[in-house]
Amino acid sequence: MTTITADTPQTTAADTGFIAIPEKPARLLATAGGLLTVISCFLSWTWTAAFPGDLTVYGYPGGLQWLVLVAGALTTLFGLASYGIKGLGWLTPAGADASIKLSALAAFATAWYTIISITVQLGGVVNLEPGGYVVAAVTLATALGALALPFRRPALEPADPDDGQWDTFKHNAGNVWATVKAAFTTRAASPARALPSWAEILLIAAVLAVTLGIFTYGITTPYQELFIGFLITAGFGFGALNKAGLVARFTNLTAKHRNVALVGAFAAAMAFPLTQTDDQYATLGVNILIFATVALGLNIVVGLTGLLDLGYVAFLGVGAYTAALVSGSPNSPFGVHLPFWAAILLGAVASMVFGVLIGAPTLRLRGDYLAIVTLGFGEIFRITMNNLDGVSGPDITNGPNGIANIPNVDLFGFDFGASHTIAGFTIGRFANYFLLLLLITLIVVMVFRRSAESRIGRAWVAIREDETAAEAMGINGFRVKLIAFALGATLAGLAGAVQAHVQYTVTPEQYQFANSTPPNSAFLLAAVVLGGMGTISGPLVGGALLYLIPNKLQFLGEYQLLVFGIALVILMRLRPEGLIPNRRNQLELHKDLEAPTVLGKAGA
């Protein structure tokens, strides 16, 4: 099955693959290879349990073998669907070939990473059992068969003989990229067969349950090899599902049942603490939720309004410091102990006031000038908090030592710092805060959703697209931008107030423009762009990834940010619209996509 899209309209007559294998043998090799990959995961790959995951057992997969098994199963299913087997067509509404290639590459990359890791860590290939050689050979053959599947090559323009060496190199690189892109391109998804509403809702619930399982698996990976294998499998696997058209189909279902999807997503998230037996990974979940929630607030400023704010983390700090000063900390000079609900409201209001004070004189600037001003505000906030130590300035924030010993939240008699047993499940401190933050996130999501769909939300989008044209149509650009700035600051302050109680201590170093540990302004902006500007789920997913991945890559030491940066560059090159794109942005970045029949749907 050849898969073509409109972004490669000029093509050669012959459909060929990367490897010179006829189509029928190649398809059979890829499909059978996927099945053999699954079988090879039940063999022993090494004789010793010194390699983590215990890959020594016959008949039961362990560790990285589970990831290879999942990739092999996907390859088999997509391969069978490409034969037109009845009942499997729903797996590949956009065509099977591109998804076969990506899932086969997932199995190949994860398996070979495992084999190479065993060889390097244990000191030679002698540490491999026959199953290790089998899976290496099988996944290689599967990948070769998948890459041999035909695709329609784009017509490549010849190089200009007058070009210099650099121009010729760029031209040749462009031709190579066009060929690779065409190999993994699919056609638009075919219309799905209408299902009863109850079946669609059950399908949404099932996908959310699987997503929860994948997230829990990724966050609880106990050793670095498993996490790297998880990243490889999840990255290629998501690409395969996307190319098959399943991601687009699920997006359409959630758009049709938005309220059900929203409730289901939060119900799945609420189940996460119940899967944890201690606070180790619940702590990581809380920090991810704080980061993702703040990124969603920034999405109002950047994604909807198009304002480049490089000092947004300062509003998080304003809310955190305000709540810390009035929550009964012994380091606070005020000696005030307000209830938690009053502390978070005060933190949100303080951030809103600072948002108005900073935005009022600066929002008449545009582009790079506004970015420089907001960057300056972020640095001014950090330096000011450092200097309010009783030496360089008044003794308010205890300077670099920050405000420590912030008490636990006690809300309506419920102590969030103590463990509680509910329906047989023991909920620890960080699990309590995780559920509290879910409630805060739900509030932020509802504010974002209602604002984006309101008249002011449409004005934000108009300002983002063309501020001059919007003002010519009667929109007060300054007032609209100031509202976005103040609302985004308020949501950041709300999250910051909760963060202060979760972490017990607030220090200036937590609120820098860029450092190796999020949240900071650089990572927050990257989370919005990576996840998908102007969407609800995009910044939440982007924030979760951008907090989780650096945390799990700490074993790389000083190379951590280098590897992470390279991965971001590659991802944004392959998917510039973000992981969960706004329809309007996707149309702008991919001219080949068909525009929606109703303009308003482009921003959905």
Contacts 24+ apart (CB under 8 A), 510-517: 510/317, 510/320, 511/313, 511/314, 511/316, 511/317, 511/320, 511/378, 511/381, 511/382, 511/385, 512/313, 512/378, 512/382, 513/310, 513/311, 513/313, 513/375, 513/378, 513/379, 516/550, 516/560, 516/561, 517/550
Mean pLDDT, range 327-352, rounded to an integer: 89
Predicted pLDDT of residue 155: 66
- CA distances in angstroms from 95 to 189, 508, 594, listed in the order given: 8, 52, 17
Are both 139 and 238 inside the same structural domain?
Answer: yes
- Out of 217, 235, 252, a domain closes at 252
Predicted pLDDT of residue 89: 78
Are both 337 and 227 inside the same structural domain?
Answer: no
Note whether residue 269 is domain-resident. Answer: no
Look at 5-9, 211-215, 428-432 and tell me which has the smallest mean pLDDT: 5-9
Predicted pLDDT of residue 565: 80
Are both 288 and 173 inside the same structural domain?
Answer: no
Mean pLDDT, range 528-556, rounded to an integer: 84
Are both 404 and 520 inside the same structural domain?
Answer: yes
Give the span between the Cα atoms of 499 and 457, in whole angstroms.
Answer: 28
Q: Predicted confidence band at 601 (pLDDT cuts at 50, 70, 90)?
A: very low
Give the span between the Cα atoms of 117 and 123, in whole angstroms.
Answer: 10
97-122 and 224-244 helices, crossing angle to 10°: 170
Note whether residue 466 is domain-resident. Answer: yes
Note whether residue 56 is domain-resident. Answer: yes
Mean pLDDT, range 141-159, rounded to an integer: 80
Are both 331 and 242 inside the same structural domain?
Answer: no
Predicted pLDDT of residue 274: 76
CATH (domain of 388): 1.10.3470
Are both 240 and 350 inside the same structural domain?
Answer: no
| Residues 309 and 301: beta-carbon distance below 8 Å | yes
Mean pLDDT, range 11-25, rounded to an integer: 69
Q: Pairing mode, if any, of strands 420-422 and 151-154? A: unpaired
Look at 357-361, 375-379, 423-427, 444-448 and tell me which has the smallest mean pLDDT: 423-427
Angle of CA points 223, 64, 141, to nearest 5°: 145
Note whether residue 110 is domain-resident. Answer: yes
Predicted pLDDT of residue 176: 63
Predicted pLDDT of residue 107: 96
Are both 355 and 481 inside the same structural domain?
Answer: yes
Choice between 590 and 438, residue whose per-residue pLDDT is larger: 438
Predicted pLDDT of residue 322: 93
DSSP state of 422: E
Choice between 589 and 252, residue whose per-residue pLDDT is larger: 252
Give the span between the Cα atoms of 254 and 261, in whole angstroms.
Answer: 6
Predicted pLDDT of residue 571: 78
Phi, psi of 17 (to 5 degrees): -105, 180
Give the span between the Cα atoms of 424 and 36, in whole angstroms.
Answer: 43
Are both 511 and 367 inside the same structural domain?
Answer: yes
Predicted pLDDT of residue 334: 84
Q: Which one, of 75, 74, 81, lies nearest residue 95 by Cα?
A: 81
Predicted pLDDT of residue 578: 79
Note whether residue 246 is domain-resident. Answer: yes
Extended strands (E) in 288-444: 410-411, 414-415, 420-422, 425-427
* pTM score of the predicted model: 0.81
Which residues, 6 or more positions from 600, have their beta carbon under 8 angstroms from its beta carbon?
none
- CA distances in angstroms from 99 to 245, 478, 581, listed in the order given: 9, 47, 20
Beta bridge pairs of residue 327: 337
Angle of CA points 115, 117, 119, to nearest 5°: 70
Q: Predicted confidence band at 556 (pLDDT cuts at 50, 70, 90)?
A: confident
Rg (the chain; Cα; Å)? 26
Beta bridge pairs of residue 427: 420
Mean pLDDT of the chain: 83
Phi, psi of 109 (to 5 degrees): -65, -40
Predicted pLDDT of residue 156: 66
Predicted pLDDT of residue 288: 87
Residue 13's SS3 state is strand
Give the span between the Cα atoms of 542 and 565, in whole angstroms.
Answer: 14
Are both 243 and 298 inside the same structural domain?
Answer: no
Are both 108 and 74 inside the same structural domain?
Answer: yes
Determine what percent of the chain is predicted with pLDDT higher than 90: 26
Note whether residue 593 is domain-resident. Answer: no
Are both 236 and 284 inside the same structural domain?
Answer: no
Predicted pLDDT of residue 329: 87
Q: Give tens-digit pLDDT for 183-203.
A: 676 655 555 566 788 888 888
- Number of structural domains in the chain: 2
- CA distances in angstroms from 443 to 266, 289, 293, listed in the order given: 12, 13, 10
Q: Give tens-digit pLDDT for 241-279.
A: 988 888 888 888 888 888 888 888 888 888 888 777 667
Which range is most confident: 142-146, 547-551, 556-560?
A: 142-146
Look at 135-149, 155-169, 465-479 and tell me which has the smallest mean pLDDT: 155-169
Predicted pLDDT of residue 55: 92
Choice between 162 and 429, residue whose per-residue pLDDT is larger: 429
Residue 236 amino acid letter: F
Predicted pLDDT of residue 487: 92
Q: Predicted confidence band at 370 (pLDDT cuts at 50, 70, 90)?
A: confident
Domain range holding 141? Answer: 11-150+164-252
Note whether residue 603 is domain-resident. Answer: no
Note whether residue 571 is domain-resident. Answer: no
Q: Which one, of 42, 70, 88, lies nearest residue 235 by Cα?
A: 70
| Residues 540 and 580: beta-carbon distance below 8 Å | no
Are both 211 and 329 inside the same structural domain?
Answer: no
Q: Give tens-digit pLDDT for 67-120.
A: 999 999 999 999 999 888 877 778 888 888 889 999 999 999 999 999 999 999
490: left (phi over 0), alpha (psi -120 to 50) or beta: alpha
